[in-house]
Amino acid sequence: MSVLERLIGSSRYQQLLAWFFRPIDGSSMALFRMGYGGIMLWEVTRYFDHNWIKSYYSGKEFYFTYPGFSWVVPWPSLELMEAHFILIGVLSTMVFLGLCYRVAAAGLAVTFSYVYLLEQARYLNHFYFVILVAVAMIFIPANRSWSADSWLKKRVSWWPFLKNCSPYTDNWGLWAIRAQFGITYFYGGLAKLNEDWLRGYPLSDWIADETDVIFIGQWVAERWMGLFLSYAGLILDLLFVPLLLYKPTRWLGFVLALAFNFMNDQMFSIGIFPLFMVIGTFTFFEADWPKRFWDFCTIEGGKHVEACGKRASLLASEKAKLLLARPKLPRSEGGFKFTTSLRSSRATDWQAGQRLLAGFMVVFFAYQFLFPFRHFLYPGSVHWTEEGHMYAWHMKLRSKRGRTEFTIKDPDSGRAFKIDPDDYLNNRQERKMRTRPMMILQFSHWLRDNYREQGMKNVEIYVDSFASLNGREEQRLVDPSYDLAQIEWSVWPAEWIVPLHTERK
């Protein structure tokens, strides 16, 4: 008996598995697979068009890494980094086509995660979001229909990348994608429930000069417009999921989601994120919506309703086959006999792989439901200390400016001198580091190690750091009395970070 079965009970566990693997039409999932692969391919072309590979991943002395991943480093030459991105493009194309899909989906998840882990200064919520989707897509059977794998399987029976062709897919896959997009919308709304956002900041400051924004450009300097957009964003983020899940309001939710993401694209430079969210929003419609849309466009009169009915009949037949394929459970006159042999029979009802997959997905989404709340374990404002800020869908909630000054001291010789971060970091790295305490700490450690290699045994590093959050007056970010060379990264609250105490003018 699995841990999950013990937690929720045998009966509920069987019901969960039945729901997980209930067959549904595969066309919506296939279309999402194409959208996902196409967007990732487009992202690769953007890196080449903007020369970002050279700018971000070559010719730098130092990279801000993630805790536990300092061993992840760029390829030793620009040519190899470019080849890596070409590989991402090839894998994205294979996912789009559904060719060798499982291998391509796993490869895309690994290769993109590698790029993400190279540089913390490049952290974006939508990169984290892409990785979560990529992990889920490894397990979702999105290639059973409308794919190169299904086309080849019909013609070459030994094709190893698809077990069988089918117009159906598993119910859990579509709901996994819905949950992933739903979490992003809803948790983005929860994150907006903070004092600054409810006062209209930092959005009011950001849009003040955006007079060319479509529809609202003439009012962006007005105080009420910043408040209106702030509250509209908050309310919509919280309402998208219920609106999209409830069938009578689904079209309203979809139209609002289109408008919301269109305005985000107009006002902010957030790359593939708005388009990706729109594509994901389509999955909240019925699983066979692409076929219904095709029938509506191609079949005359009311015959498309008849075609929809035929699909429903075939799907019901497929569900019946699934039920008949399961072992029958023994009954007594009074009902089920819950004996050891019965539990053994129920345990063989589902394949081990199916039970493992269900358990993994439960853990996968339990992590996503709980992990964003970890910032409540830290004192002070998460937007100031940055403790628990990442992976929590705190999107576009803070505007920070800062300046830092590093002082290196050698207690053995009594020598002290200052260094300029610009000598070691590029513009983006230096700008991000100024307002992020843990990046300041990581850079201090790199300086410490460098000077130790040069023969300075007892290196001391002190930082004079000032920052401003969402228009507040500037204040100290890091306590200058702490020797950061002696402080190690920790998950516990950092006492060397000065609490936020200034207010907006």
Task: Encode pLDDT of 306-318 as tens digits.
Answer: 666 666 666 566 5
| 146 SS3 class | coil
Q: How confident is the model at residue 268 (pLDDT cuts 50, 70, 90)?
A: confident
| Average pLDDT of the residues in 195-208 | 93
pLDDT over 90 (residue 335) = no
C-alpha pair distances (Å), 151 with each of 103, 154, 357: 17, 6, 26
Interval 157-167: pLDDT, tens: 899 989 888 88
Contacts 24+ apart (CB under 8 A), 213-222: 213/263, 213/266, 213/267, 214/266
Q: How confident is the model at residue 303 (pLDDT cuts 50, 70, 90)?
A: low
pLDDT over 80 (residue 207) = yes
For residues 448 and 452, give the distance between their C-alpha atoms in angstroms, rounded to a whole number.
6
For residues 154 and 437, give the distance between their C-alpha atoms in angstroms, rounded to a whole number.
57
pLDDT over 80 (residue 145) = yes
Q: How confident is the model at residue 328 (pLDDT cuts 50, 70, 90)?
A: very low
pLDDT over 50 (residue 183) = yes
Interval 393-452: pLDDT, tens: 999 999 999 999 999 999 999 999 999 999 999 999 999 999 999 999 999 999 999 999
Q: How confident is the model at residue 48 (pLDDT cuts 50, 70, 90)?
A: very high
Q: What angle do CA 151, 155, 158 make, to 5 degrees?
A: 100
Which pLDDT value is given to residue 307? 61
Q: How confident is the model at residue 460 (pLDDT cuts 50, 70, 90)?
A: very high
Which pLDDT value is given to residue 267? 86
Q: Half-sphere exposure of 33 toward its Cβ, with a 13 Å CA cutoff?
A: 33
Task: Pick the closest to residue 464 from 384, 402, 410, 406 (CA basis).
Answer: 406
User: Model pTM greater than 0.75?
Assistant: yes
- Tell me if 390 sits within 8 A of 446, measured CB to CB: no
Which pLDDT value is given to residue 62? 93
Which pLDDT value is given to residue 166? 86
Which pLDDT value is given to residue 200? 94
Contacts of 301 by beta carbon, 8 Å cutoff, 6+ apart: none
pLDDT over 90 (residue 87) = yes
% of the chain beyond a pLDDT of 90: 74
| Average pLDDT of the residues in 85-96 | 98
Look over the chain and give the mean of its residue pLDDT values, rounded to a whole number.
Answer: 89
- Tell me if 469 sits within 8 A of 449, measured CB to CB: no
pLDDT over 90 (residue 214) = no
pLDDT over 60 (residue 331) = no
pLDDT over 90 (residue 172) = yes
pLDDT over 90 (residue 384) = yes
